[in-house]
């Protein structure tokens, strides 16, 4: 409407345009949508996270994992697949041309041909990039409902070498940084901020203890979709089993065990297999929609979307910038937060050691879990905060309440606004 007024002003005999209103709702410069146009989170589920190469999902294709969560999310809320406007799947190690795997899962889930599906690859943030893409389509009015997914089989698709690269790469320091292994960035953070091996091991142990306690008390049960799979042993014999529990949680870990491990990335380093996350297999899906459409269908509203960078060799310190920015958008302070869900690959930054890191869905699978934690603690928990890292040194941060305000912080333009 504002654009129409502006255009009509240019076309009027006087040629004077109406002054543009200030659309900014905060210092971040994001225009606030009307309540009925807000992008909301409806529901989310994930698979258990399996150990790559030797876990329960080692012989399971990514389309099977993906189909399980796509089906579960829609069945849980009673939504028909043909009511979706789009499906976006985050996946890093893409088989075929990428879209093939997503399309197969699409049909395995009973989705009709008329519902489109596509894949995105933004390295470790691919799953949440899928969420942002769907949210952007909803915000623009292109669709009313969409499904954001993430999947990775690091068992069947290994991380490869960078392949053929430009001959000019060696002459450009910033371009060379693209080849820095994430483990080396962990070492850089540990050295820069004097995080000792002992501190990292102690944090890793605490992370394992918390994860084991949460698993054993059933905190993850609501978010995990049981998946029946076939597993082959070394002799080729097959057996069927149902996977319901995360496999990376190492109950019984001790500081002595961690201290015996060798550095993984530098001979004199402090980052080890014990204070880093494992490579994993898994999938997750989150249903998003325009508030008006969601409420018309009688679907639940769990969250409202609202939308900082560092040098790549120190990408682990990004939350120091992202957290204050998101809290400012939400009108909150650190002391207001009851639950901090912190996800990263190494204990030098804080870590997701027990859950592992299936790259394509690693961050997306945290969204339903953080919501369920907040709900299970209600009314004690009013606000929870979740942050996670991209390998391009960007961060997405989610700040949620029981009305679930989600603030996504990155160096790109926001897709939503604070409430």
Instruction: Give the range with max mean pLDDT: 36-40, 68-72, 314-318.
Output: 68-72
For residue 287, is it within any domain? yes
- pLDDT at residue 167 in the model: 80
Query: For 124, what's the count of Cα atoms within 13 Å in the CB-facing half-sphere?
Result: 24
Between residues 232 and 168, the one the model is more confident about = 232
Alpha helices in 109-157 (DSSP H): 126-140
> Which position has the token pair 């880093």?
276
Given a cut of 50, is residue 24 above it in pLDDT? no
The model's confidence at residue 161, banded by pLDDT at 50, 70 and 90, is: low
Mean pLDDT of 344-369: 51
Q: Write down the mean pLDDT value for the chain.
A: 77
**Tens digits of residue pLDDT in 244-282:** 999 999 999 999 999 999 999 999 999 999 999 888 999
For residue 413, is it within any domain? no
224 contacts 166 by C-beta, under 8 angstroms: no
**Total domains present in the chain:** 1
- pLDDT at residue 397 in the model: 45
Question: What gap in Å lies between CA 384 and CA 406, rounded to an integer?
Answer: 10
Sign of CA dihedral 250, 393, 404, 116: negative
- pLDDT at residue 142 in the model: 97
- pLDDT at residue 344 in the model: 53
Q: Which two tokens mark 201?
A: 């091991």
Mean pLDDT of 342-368: 52
For residue 249, is it within any domain? yes
Question: What gap in Å lies between CA 373 and CA 222, rounded to an integer?
Answer: 10
Residue 359 structural domain: 26-155+182-407
Between residues 303 and 85, the one the model is more confident about = 85
Question: What gap in Å lies between CA 242 and CA 152, rounded to an integer?
Answer: 19
| 3-state class (DSSP) for residue 201 | helix
Mean pLDDT of 169-175: 85
The model's confidence at residue 106, banded by pLDDT at 50, 70 and 90, is: very high
Question: What gap in Å lies between CA 245 and CA 332, rounded to an integer?
Answer: 35
**Tens digits of residue pLDDT in 78-88:** 999 999 999 99
The model's confidence at residue 182, banded by pLDDT at 50, 70 and 90, is: confident
CA 249, 302, 153 angle in degrees (round to 5)? 40
For residue 418, is it within any domain? no
CATH code of the domain containing 317: 3.40.47.10
The model's confidence at residue 30, banded by pLDDT at 50, 70 and 90, is: very low
- pLDDT at residue 226 in the model: 98
Share of the chain above pLDDT 70, in %: 65
- pLDDT at residue 103 in the model: 92
Give the contacts of 186 (CB within 8 A, at least 6 positions apart): 265, 271, 276, 316, 345, 346, 348, 349
55 contacts 155 by C-beta, under 8 angstroms: yes
For residue 260, is it within any domain? yes
Instruction: Give the range with max mean pLDDT: 93-97, 309-313, 377-381, 382-386.
Output: 93-97
Query: For 157, what's the count of Cα atoms within 13 Å in the CB-facing half-sphere?
Result: 20
Length of the chain: 419
Given a cut of 80, is residue 27 above it in pLDDT? no
pLDDT-wise least confident of 96-100, 320-324, 382-386:
382-386
Share of the chain above pLDDT 90, in %: 48
For residue 30, is it within any domain? yes
Between residues 5 and 47, the one the model is more confident about = 47
For residue 174, is it within any domain? no
Residue 8: CB atoms within 10 A of its CB come to 11
243 contacts 229 by C-beta, under 8 angstroms: yes
- pLDDT at residue 95 in the model: 76
* Rounded alpha-carbon distances, angstroms, from residue 233 to 58, 59, 64, 247, 394: 10, 10, 20, 17, 40
Q: Which two tokens mark 296?
A: 């018309």
| 3-state class (DSSP) for residue 346 | strand
The model's confidence at residue 305, banded by pLDDT at 50, 70 and 90, is: confident
pLDDT-wise least confident of 37-41, 197-201, 219-223, 343-347:
343-347
Between residues 319 and 61, the one the model is more confident about = 61
Give the contacts of 388 (CB within 8 A, at least 6 positions apart): 125, 128, 343, 344, 362, 363, 366, 395, 396, 397
For residue 58, is it within any domain? yes
Which has the closest alpha carbon to 151: 62, 20, 273?
62
**Tens digits of residue pLDDT in 189-243:** 899 989 999 999 999 999 899 999 999 999 899 999 999 999 999 999 999 999 9
Given a cut of 90, is residue 390 above it in pLDDT? no
Given a cut of 60, is residue 74 above it in pLDDT? yes
């Amino acid at each position: 409407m504002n654009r129409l007024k502006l255009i009509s002003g240019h076309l009027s005999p006087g040629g004077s345009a109406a002054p543009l209103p200030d659309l900014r709702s905060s210092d971040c410069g994001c225009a606030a949508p009307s309540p009925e146009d807000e992008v909301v989170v409806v529901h989310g589920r994930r698979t258990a996270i399996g150990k790559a190469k030797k876990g329960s999902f080692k012989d399971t294709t990514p389309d099977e994992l993906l189909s399980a969560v796509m089906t579960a999310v829609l069945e849980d809320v009673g939504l028909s697949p043909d009511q979706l406007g789009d499906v976006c799947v985050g996946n890093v190690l893409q088989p075929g041309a990428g879209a093939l795997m997503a399309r197969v899962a699409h049909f395995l889930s009973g989705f009709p041909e008329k519902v489109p599906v596509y894949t995105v690859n933004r390295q470790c943030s691919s799953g949440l990039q899928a969420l942002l893409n769907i949210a952007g389509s909803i915000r623009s009015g292109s669709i009313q409902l969409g499904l954001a997914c993430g999947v990775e089989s690091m068992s069947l698709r290994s991380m490869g070498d960078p392949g053929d690269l430009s001959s000019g790469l060696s002459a450009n320091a910033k371009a060379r940084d693209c080849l820095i292994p994430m483990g080396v960035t962990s070492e850089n953070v540990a050295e820069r901020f004097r995080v000792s091996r002992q501190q990292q091991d102690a944090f890793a142990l605490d992370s394992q203890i918390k994860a084991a306690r949460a698993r054993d008390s059933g905190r993850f049960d609501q978010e995990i979709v049981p998946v029946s799979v076939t597993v082959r042993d070394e002799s080729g014999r097959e057996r069927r089993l149902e996977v319901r529990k995360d496999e990376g949680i190492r109950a019984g870990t001790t500081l002595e065990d961690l201290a015996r491990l060798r550095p993984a990335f530098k001979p004199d380093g402090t980052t080890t297999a014990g204070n880093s996350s494992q490579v994993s297999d898994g999938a997750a899906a989150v249903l998003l929609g325009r508030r008006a459409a969601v409420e018309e269908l009688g679907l639940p509203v769990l969250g409202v979307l609202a939308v900082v960078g560092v040098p790549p060799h120190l990408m682990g310190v990004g939350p120091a910038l992202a957290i204050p920015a998101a809290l400012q958008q939400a009108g909150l302070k650190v002391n207001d937060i009851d639950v901090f869900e912190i996800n990263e690959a190494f204990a030098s930054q804080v870590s997701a050691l027990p859950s592992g890191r299936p790259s394509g869905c690693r961050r997306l699978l945290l969204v339903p879990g953080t919501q369920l934690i907040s709900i299970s603690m209600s009314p004690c928990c009013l606000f929870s905060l979740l942050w996670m890292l991209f390998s391009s040194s960007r961060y997405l941060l989610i700040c949620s309440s029981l009305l679930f305000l989600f603030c996504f912080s990155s160096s790109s333009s926001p897709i939503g606004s604070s409430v």
